[in-house]
Amino acid sequence: MSRTHSPALQPLAAKELIIPQGTRPAVPANTPIIITIDGPAGTGKSTVARMLAQKLGLDFLDTGAMYRAAAAIMLERKYDKDQVGELVSTVIGADLHFDWSQDPPTILAWDTPIDHRIRAQEVTDLVSFVATLSELRQHMVRKQRIIFAQHPHLVTEGRDQGSVVFPDAAVKFYLDADPEIRAQRRIDQLGIDPETMTLEEMCERIVERDRIDMTRQDGPLVCPDDAIQIDTSKMSIDDVVELMYERTMAVVADLPKIDS
Ligand code: DC
Among protein residues, the one whose CA lies closest to atom 14 of ligand 1: 159
Strand partners, 113: 108
SS3 letters for 163-229? HHHCCCCCEEEEEECCHHHHHHHHHHHHCCCCCCCCHHHHHHHHHHHHHHHHHCCCCCCCCCCCCEE
Give the position, in ligand 1's atom list, of the atom nearest the Cα of 131: 15
Provide the CA 85 distance to its chain's centre, in angstroms.
Answer: 26
- The 3-state DSSP composition of the chain as helix, strand, coil percent (nearest 5) reads 45, 15, 40
Confidence of residue 16 (pLDDT cuts 50, 70, 90): very low
Mean pLDDT, residues 9-35: 67
- pLDDT for 22 equals 52
Measuring from atom 16 of ligand 1, which residue has the nearest CA?
159
Please tell me the distance from the alpha carbon of residue 35 to that of residue 26, in angstroms, as a whole number.
14
The protein residue with its alpha carbon nearest to ligand 1, atom 13, reads 64
Instruction: Name the least confident of 20-34, 53-67, 200-214, 215-229.
Output: 20-34
Count CB neighbours of 146 within 10 A: 11
Higher-confidence position of 243 and 25:
243
What is the arithmetic mean of pLDDT over 158-169?
Answer: 97
Question: How does pLDDT run across 168-223, given as a tens digit for each residue?
Answer: 999 999 999 999 999 999 888 888 888 888 999 999 999 998 999 999 999 999 99
- Cα(187)–Cα(195) distance, rounded to whole angstroms? 12
Residues whose CB falls within 8 Å of the CB of residue 88, separated by 6 or more in sequence, listed in order: 133, 135, 136, 139
Pairing of strands 59-62, 153-158: parallel
Q: How far is the CA of 182 from the centre of ligand 1 (A)?
A: 15
Q: Report the distance separating Cα 52 and Cα 9, nearest Å.
A: 14
The answer on pLDDT for 7 being more than 50 is: no
- DSSP designation for 108: E
Q: Is the CB of 144 under 6 A from ligand 1?
A: no
**Cβ 133 under 6 angstroms from ligand 1:** no
Residue nearest to atom 18 of ligand 1 (CA): 158
Q: What is the rounded distance in angstroms from the CA atom of residue 89 to the CA atom of residue 80? A: 14
DSSP state letter for 13: -
User: If you average pLDDT over residues 231-258, what whole number do you get?
Assistant: 95
pLDDT at 28: 94
pLDDT in the model for residue 85: 98
47 lines ligand 1 (CB under 6 A): no
Helix (H, G, I), strand (E, B) or coil at 245: helix
More confident residue, 24 or 107: 107
Is 220 a pocket residue for ligand 1 (Cβ < 6 Å)? no
Q: State if residue 130 touches ligand 1 by the CB under 6 angstroms criterion.
A: no
| Least confident segment among 137-141, 205-209, 242-246 | 205-209
Helix (H, G, I), strand (E, B) or coil at 123: helix
Sequence spans of domains, the chain: 28-249
Residue of 173 and 7 predicted with greater confidence? 173
pLDDT band at 15 (very low <50, low <70, confident <90, very high): very low
Q: Is the minimum distance from the CB of 213 to ligand 1 under 6 angstroms? A: yes
Average pLDDT over the chain reads 90
What CATH number is given for 28-249 in this structure?
Answer: 3.40.50.300
Stretch among 111-120, 184-193, 217-226, 248-257 having the lowest mean pLDDT: 184-193
Inform me whether the pLDDT recorded for 2 exceeds 60.
no
CA distance linking residue 186 with residue 205, whole number of Å: 11
- pLDDT for the residue 19: 43
